[in-house]
């Protein structure tokens, strides 16, 4: 093992242009170097290397990375072997440090489990599609269930043979240790396969890595569990994962809605009906971590469950948790004795989609109907229903929504609105009293842009988050503002671009919603707090591959934008050489930062106004008290004034 100090020395000394030039002829163009991409065939150079940033990026195939990544991809080396290659080139002595057993185990376990899962996934797919047993048993079962081949491929379904050690034998033959296979949950302590004679559904994390499996029995033997999931491992905690989210995340964002179903086969059936924005909770009661995953992509959830008692109870359990987390919840109950999988086989795709839209119910209507059908004329049960509904309404974070649903509950329960309001308010006061008091740290800085009201938060503006990060990474250490003492002719106060941006966002309590962007932003915050500058190299070589990739991608954007817009930076440099000065992004940095923050806030305010307009429409439809509508109208008025102020700075016309 190479010690951390030596690793850092190798990274600091290695020259990316010098290294890549040994494999790819490069020509200097502006401040970068270009050449034909070594990772795909091309006639026009689109492979760019930045010497100052220590990164490469191909705008043809998308490959990007640092000098170590290049050697790993081009020479097919491991990370450590790539460092050894660089150490040899730059004559850096490496002193190998033996790791303790505990350190080796901790370092390698996660990687070993990922590799074992990848091998298992490939094995299960091969068994399903290319063996007699897989075809006659596994594929035949899936065909009987009406699952199309494209869906089988999209979700990477596989089959584990009836031979109880078929997978174990294949894995150990390839060099996998029994201990690793057991820790991955692929075999039991006796080294028998855990998924024998089952259709195997791989479970992906958001990055697309297989972290576990869910096996569905094929036989009708009731003594065998219908489903077997990977046990809890370093990679697989089912309460933190959702089946189908990797495949559905884009559709959820595009539709701004997520369907939540019970089982894996339900997810496949929904996909076959072209309802791609669907996930399942892996056989567990819905958890806060699972809701947080959905919330990353949308706040609108449609709970789709069977109409039997078990399905209704499952839906009821999830509703309060979703509401508590600020989600907008609808319910769809399917016809009796049907789940999404079976129901999808009885009607056409168009009819299925129409049924979903037509049968969406507000959570409150759903709950009341369930309680009242059970209570009938029993006064005790009706009182319990009233208490339960008040409890659910009290979980709603927005008071307009609470007022709308109090009115709805009042009609259905035949109870005065004020009575329900009083109960809801009592519950709110109790909850507030139980909540621990948190001391808020105030950041006292002068904001360079209009301040937003405290209630503005929780809006997802990914494209603006990305652009803010790009500016932070590219220009964060540049000086944004300085104050001079004229008597001593010294700088008494200096604020960097990064400090100006971060202070402005924190003053408005705005935080990124994209989880990877948020992590990069927090690392930058930490670096500023500790070192007072951004160390982009540590981000380029960050141990979290997602962080490294997004940083390299963002640092590559300026050139790409210049190329797309006519190579503005290169033209600027050319005109400078012939005596004409043309401003580029760096020269306009102060104005760019100001406009970027203004546009970010403008976008957030637009979304906030649309949300208030929806609440007003909802309130008017429900004929609730004018005071609630007046409050939202005032909010829209205040937000519009701020938008007009921002628009004035941006020279935009407010309609």
- Dist CA 155 CA 191 (whole Å): 27
Q: Phi and psi of 490, rounded to 5°? A: -130, 160
Structure tokens at 104: 């080796």
Burial (0-12, 13-18, 19+ Cβ within 10 Å), 404:
buried
β 300-305/258-261 pair status: parallel
The reply to whether 121 and 222 lie within a common domain is yes
Lowest-pLDDT range, 167-176, 220-229, 305-314, 374-383? 305-314
* pLDDT of 149 strictly over 90: yes
* pLDDT of 510 strictly over 70: yes
Q: Which residues contact 166 (CB under 8 A, 6 or more apart)?
A: 127, 160, 193, 196
- Dist CA 497 CA 320 (whole Å): 43
* pLDDT of 582 strictly over 50: no
CATH number for the domain harbouring residue 263: 3.40.1360.10
Average pLDDT score, the chain: 83
Name which residue leads in pLDDT, 515 or 271. Answer: 271
Name which residue leads in pLDDT, 504 or 207. Answer: 504
Where are the alpha helices (H) located in 14-100, listed in sequence order?
A: 16-21, 67-74, 79-89
Q: Phi and psi of 162, rounded to 5°? A: -75, -20
For the chain, how many structural domains are there in total?
Answer: 5
Give the number of residues written for the chain: 655
- pLDDT for 150 equals 94
Structure tokens at 193: 């396969």
- pLDDT for 411 equals 81
Structure tokens at 60: 């043809």
Tens digit of pLDDT for each residue in 541-574? 887 878 888 888 888 865 444 433 334 444 445 4
Does 444 map to a domain?
A: no
Burial (0-12, 13-18, 19+ Cβ within 10 Å), 566:
exposed
The reply to whether 399 and 414 lie within a common domain is yes
CATH number for the domain harbouring residue 107: 3.90.980.10
- Dist CA 430 CA 426 (whole Å): 6
Q: What is the DSSP secondary-structure string of 196-225?
A: TTEEEEEEE-TTS-EEEEEEEE-S--TTS-
β 258-261/278-280 pair status: parallel
- Dist CA 260 CA 370 (whole Å): 20
Of 98-102, 147-151, 253-257, 410-414, the range with the highest mean pLDDT is 147-151
The reply to whether 148 and 225 lie within a common domain is yes
User: In 273-432, which ranges are E strands?
Assistant: 278-280, 300-305, 328-333, 361-362
User: In 314-411, which ranges are E strands?
Assistant: 328-333, 361-362
The reply to whether 376 and 285 lie within a common domain is no
- pLDDT for 443 equals 35
Tens digit of pLDDT for each residue in 416-455? 888 888 888 888 877 766 655 444 333 334 455 667 766 6
- Dist CA 63 CA 55 (whole Å): 11
Does 465 map to a domain?
A: yes
The reply to whether 306 and 338 lie within a common domain is yes
Total-model pTM: 0.62
The reply to whether 642 and 600 lie within a common domain is yes
Tell me the percentage of the chain whose pLDDT exceeds 90: 29
Mean pLDDT of 508-533: 83
Q: Phi and psi of 49, rounded to 5°? A: -125, 125
Among candidate residues 178, 204, 236, the one where a domain is terminated: 236
Distances (CA, A) of 66 to 54, 456, 495, 549, 645: 6, 39, 30, 9, 43
Tens digit of pLDDT for each residue in 463-490? 888 888 988 988 888 888 777 777 776 7
Among candidate residues 408, 438, 468, the one where a domain is terminated: 438
The reply to whether 387 and 469 lie within a common domain is no
| Structural domain for 467, as ranges | 455-655
Does 513 map to a domain?
A: yes
- Dist CA 389 CA 376 (whole Å): 16
- Dist CA 202 CA 186 (whole Å): 12
- pLDDT for 512 equals 82
Three-state SS letters, 85-150: HHHHHCCCCCCECCCCHHHHHHHHHHHHHHHHHHHHHHHHHHHHHHCHHHHHHHHHHHHHCCCCHH
């Amino acid at each position: 093992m190479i010690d951390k100090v030596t690793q850092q020395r190798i990274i600091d000394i290695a020259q990316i242009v010098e290294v890549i030039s040994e494999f790819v002829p490069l020509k200097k163009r502006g401040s970068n170097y270009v050449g034909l991409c070594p990772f795909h065939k091309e006639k026009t150079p689109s492979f760019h290397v930045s010497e100052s940033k220590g990164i490469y990026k191909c705008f043809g195939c998308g490959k990007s990375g640092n000098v170590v990544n290049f050697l790993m991809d081009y020479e097919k080396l491991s990370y450590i072997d790539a460092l050894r290659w660089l150490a040899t080139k730059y004559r850096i002595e490496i002193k190998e440090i033996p790791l303790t057993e505990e350190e080796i185990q901790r370092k390698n376990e996660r990687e070993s489990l990922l590799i074992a899962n990848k091998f298992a996934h490939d094995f299960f797919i091969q068994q399903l599609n290319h063996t007699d047993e897989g075809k006659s048993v596994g594929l035949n079962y899936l065909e009987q269930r009406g699952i199309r081949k494209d869906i089988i491929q999209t979700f990477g379904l596989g089959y584990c043979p009836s031979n109880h050690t078929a997978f174990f034998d294949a894995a150990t033959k390839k060099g996998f240790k029994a201990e690793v296979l057991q820790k991955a949950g692929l075999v039991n302590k006796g080294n028998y396969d855990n998924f024998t004679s089952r259709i195997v559904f791989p479970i992906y994390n958001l990055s697309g890595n297989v972290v576990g499996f869910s096996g569905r029995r094929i036989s009708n033997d009731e003594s065998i569990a219908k489903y077997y999931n990977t046990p809890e491992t370093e990679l697989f905690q089912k309460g933190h994962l959702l089946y189908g989210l990797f495949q559905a995340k884009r559709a959820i964002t595009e539709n701004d809605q997520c369907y939540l179903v019970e089982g894996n086969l339900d997810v496949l059936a929904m996909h076959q009906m072209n309802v791609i924005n669907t996930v399942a909770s892996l056989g567990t009661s819905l958890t806060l971590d699972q809701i947080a995953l959905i919330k990353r992509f949308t706040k609108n959830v449609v709970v789709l469950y069977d109409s039997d008692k078990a399905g209704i109870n499952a839906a009821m359990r999830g509703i309060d948790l979703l509401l508590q987390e600020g989600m907008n919840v609808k319910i769809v109950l399917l016809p009796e004795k049907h789940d999404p999988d079976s129901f999808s086989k009885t009607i056409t795709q168009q009819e299925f989609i129409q049924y979903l839209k037509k049968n969406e119910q507000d959570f409150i209507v759903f709950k009341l109907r369930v309680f009242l059908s059970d209570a009938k004329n029993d006064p005790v049960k009706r009182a319990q229903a009233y208490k339960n509904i008040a409890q659910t309404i009290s979980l709603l974070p927005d008071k307009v929504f609470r007022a709308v649903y109090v009115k709805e509950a009042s009609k259905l329960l035949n109870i005065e609105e004020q009575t329900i309001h009083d109960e809801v308010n009592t519950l709110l006061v109790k909850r507030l009293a139980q909540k621990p008091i948190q001391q808020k740290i105030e950041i006292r800085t002068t904001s360079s842009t209009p301040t937003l009201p405290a209630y503005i938060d929780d809006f997802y503006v990914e494209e603006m988050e990305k652009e803010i990060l790009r500016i932070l990474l590219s220009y964060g250490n540049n000086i944004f503002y300085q104050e001079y003492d004229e008597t001593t002719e010294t700088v008494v106060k200096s604020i960097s671009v990064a400090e100006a941006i971060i202070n402005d966002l924190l003053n408005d309590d705005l935080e990124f919603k994209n989880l990877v962007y948020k992590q990069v932003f927090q690392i930058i915050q930490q670096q500023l707090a500790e070192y007072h500058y951004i160390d982009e190299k540590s981000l380029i070589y960050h141990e979290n591959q997602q962080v490294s990739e997004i940083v390299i991608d963002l640092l590559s954007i300026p050139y790409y934008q210049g190329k797309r817009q006519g190579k503005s930076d290169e033209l600027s440099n050319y005109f400078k050489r012939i005596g004409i000065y043309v401003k580029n992004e760096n020269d306009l940095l102060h104005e760019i930062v100001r406009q970027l923050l203004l546009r970010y806030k403008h976008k957030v305010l637009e979304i906030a106004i649309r949300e208030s307009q929806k609440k007003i429409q909802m309130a008017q439809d429900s004929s609730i008290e004018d005071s609630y509508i007046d409050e939202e109208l005032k909010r829209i008025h205040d937000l519009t004034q701020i938008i007009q102020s921002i628009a004035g700075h941006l020279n935009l016309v407010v309609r």
